[in-house]
C-alpha cells in the first residue's frame, strides 16, 4: 500500500504565497469590494470609490442597492466600502481610494465633523469628492464638489408641523419621547432641530426624553423600553427613522400599550416596512427620505470627472405620508 506524503511548504513558498495574497489586495477596512492594487478601471472606465456608512437600516440597504445598480447601468467601475458605522473606517477607505488613484470619491459621512484632513488629502491628489446623503461641517467648501441628499431639517419640521396640527385642541401637556439617530450625524442633528422648531408653536408639546437609538431596530427597542419604564405617560414617539420606530413597536406592545393609538408614532424614511406599519395603523405619520440616490450620483461623478460645473447643493425631492396615503402607495413601493 502506498503511503501518503505530508507536504510541508518551504519558507520560500510561504513568502511567495504571502506576496500573492497582498497583491490580490485585502480590504483596507470594514467590508470592502475593493482591492488595494486596483487602480484605474480597465477599458478607460471611470472609477468611483464609494464609502458607505454601513448597513444599519432598511434605508441604508436600499441606498446601497441603488448605488450599485446605478454604477453598473452607467458603466462606472465602483469600488465599494462598508464602514460599519465607524468614521475611522471611512477615513481609511478614502485614503485607500486616494492611493488607488480612483477618478472620483463619494461618501456618506457617518458623522458631520472631523473630515477636513482627509478631504484635503483628496484635494491635493486632485481627486474630486462628492458628498451623498449626509453633510460634513467643514468650513472650507472647496474640499468637495457638491452635496447630493435630503433636507433633514425640513423632514424634522414636517414631522413637527403634522403633530402641531393633530394636537391643536390639546388642553394639557402632550409628552413626547424622541429616538435620535446616530449621535453627531447630520440626520440626527437636523431632524432634531427641525422638529423642535416646529413644535415650539404649541407650548403644550414637550419633549420629556430624547436619546440615540443609533438608527437601528435593536437600538430603538432598547431605548424605548427605558423610556417606558421611566415615564408613565408617553403620548407621542418621534423616531428619526423607520427602523427605530419598528423596534420601538415591540417595546410598546410588550408594555401593554397599543402603538398608533395609546402612543402616536411619527417616523422618517418611508421604507416598505415602515409604510406597512403606517398602513396597518401602528405608525401615524412618516416624513419621506429617499435612498434612491444612485442614478443622480453617477451623473454627478461623470460631470465632475469631466471638469464640468455642478451645483454646490442638490436636494432630493420628498413627500410625507398619512395612514391613508400609505395604503395607496404601498403596492408600488420599490424599497
Ligand atoms: O442618512 C439617512 C439616514 O440614515 C436614514 O434616515 C436612516 O434610516 C439611515 O440610517
- What is the pLDDT at residue 23? 35
Separation of alpha carbons 310 and 1, rounded Å: 75
Q: Give the three-class secondary structure for 286.
A: strand
One DSSP character per residue, 225-277 reads: HHHHHH-S---EEEESSHHHHHHHHHHHHHTT--BTTTBEEEEEE--HHHHHH
Residue 36, pLDDT score:
37
**Between helices 87-99 and 116-124, what is the axis angle to 10°?**
10
Comparing C-alpha atoms, which of 203, 280, 281, 196 is closest to residue 240? 196
Which domains, and CATH codes, for the chain? 47-150+291-317 (3.40.50.2300), 152-289 (3.40.50.2300)
Helix (H, G, I), strand (E, B), or coil: what is residue 193?
helix
Backbone angles phi, psi at 56, to 5 degrees: -75, -20
- Could you give the CA distance from residue 126 to residue 128 in angstroms, rounded to a whole number? 6
- Per the listing, cell 421604507 goes with 271
Rg (alpha carbons) of the chain, rounded to whole number: 23
Each residue of 252-279: pLDDT tens digit? Answer: 999 999 999 999 999 999 999 999 999 9
For ligand 1, whether the C-beta of 235 sits within 6 Å is no
Q: Which of 51, 55, 57 to mutate to test the pocket of ligand 1 (most atoms within 8 A of CB)?
A: 57
- pLDDT on residue 124: 98
pTM of the model: 0.88
Q: Which of 97, 89, 92 is nearest to 35 (CA)?
A: 97
Cα-flanking dihedrals φ and ψ of residue 295, to 5°? -60, -45
User: Is 289 near ligand 1, meaning CB less than 6 Å away?
Assistant: yes
**Mutate-to-test residue for ligand 1 from 58, 60, 67, 218, highest number of ligand atoms within 8 A of CB:** 60
Centre of ligand 1 to C-alpha 85, Å, is: 11
**Which residues in the chain land under pLDDT 50?**
1-41
Amino acid at each position: 500500500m502506498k503511503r501518503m506524503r505530508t507536504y510541508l511548504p518551504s519558507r520560500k513558498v510561504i513568502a511567495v504565497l504571502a506576496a500573492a495574497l497582498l497583491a490580490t489586495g485585502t480590504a483596507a477596512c470594514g467590508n470592502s469590494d475593493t482591492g488595494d492594487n486596483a487602480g484605474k478601471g480597465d477599458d478607460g472606465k471611470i472609477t468611483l470609490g464609494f464609502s458607505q456608512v454601513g448597513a444599519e437600516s432598511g434605508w441604508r440597504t436600499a441606498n446601497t442597492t441603488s448605488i450599485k445598480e446605478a454604477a453598473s447601468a452607467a458603466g462606472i467601475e465602483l469600488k465599494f466600502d462598508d464602514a460599519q458605522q465607524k468614521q475611522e473606517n471611512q477615513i481609511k477607505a478614502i485614503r485607500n481610494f486616494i492611493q488607488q488613484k480612483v477618478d472620483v470619491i463619494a461618501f456618506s459621512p457617518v458623522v458631520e465633523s472631523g473630515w477636513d484632513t482627509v478631504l484635503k488629502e483628496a484635494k491635493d491628489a486632485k481627486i474630486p469628492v462628492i458628498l451623498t446623503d449626509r453633510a460634513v461641517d467643514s468650513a472650507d467648501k472647496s474640499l468637495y464638489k457638491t452635496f447630493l441628499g435630503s433636507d433633514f431639517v425640513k423632514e424634522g419640521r414636517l414631522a413637527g408641523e403634522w403633530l402641531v396640527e393633530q394636537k391643536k385642541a390639546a388642553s394639557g401637556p402632550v409628552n413626547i419621547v424622541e429616538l435620535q439617530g446616530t449621535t453627531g450625524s447630520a440626520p440626527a442633528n437636523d431632524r432634531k432641530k427641525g422638529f423642535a422648531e416646529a413644535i415650539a408653536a404649541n407650548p403644550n408639546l414637550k419633549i420629556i426624553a430624547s436619546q440615540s437609538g443609533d438608527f437601528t431596530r435593536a437600538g430603538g427597542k432598547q431605548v424605548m423600553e427605558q423610556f417606558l419604564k421611566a415615564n408613565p405617560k408617553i403620548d407621542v414617539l418621534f423616531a428619526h427613522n423607520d427602523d427605530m420606530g419598528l423596534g420601538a413597536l415591540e417595546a410598546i406592545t410588550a408594555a401593554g400599550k397599543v402603538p398608533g393609538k395609546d402612543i402616536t408614532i411619527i417616523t422618517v424614511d418611508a421604507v416598505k416596512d415602515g409604510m406597512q406599519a403606517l398602513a396597518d395603523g401602528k405608525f401615524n405619520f412618516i416624513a419621506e427620505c429617499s435612498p434612491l440616490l444612485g442614478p443622480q450620483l453617477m451623473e454627478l461623478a461623470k460631470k465632475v470627472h469631466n471638469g464640468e460645473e455642478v451645483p454646490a447643493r442638490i436636494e432630493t425631492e420628498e413627500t410625507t405620508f398619512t395612514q391613508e396615503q400609505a395604503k395607496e402607495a404601498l403596492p408600488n413601493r420599490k424599497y
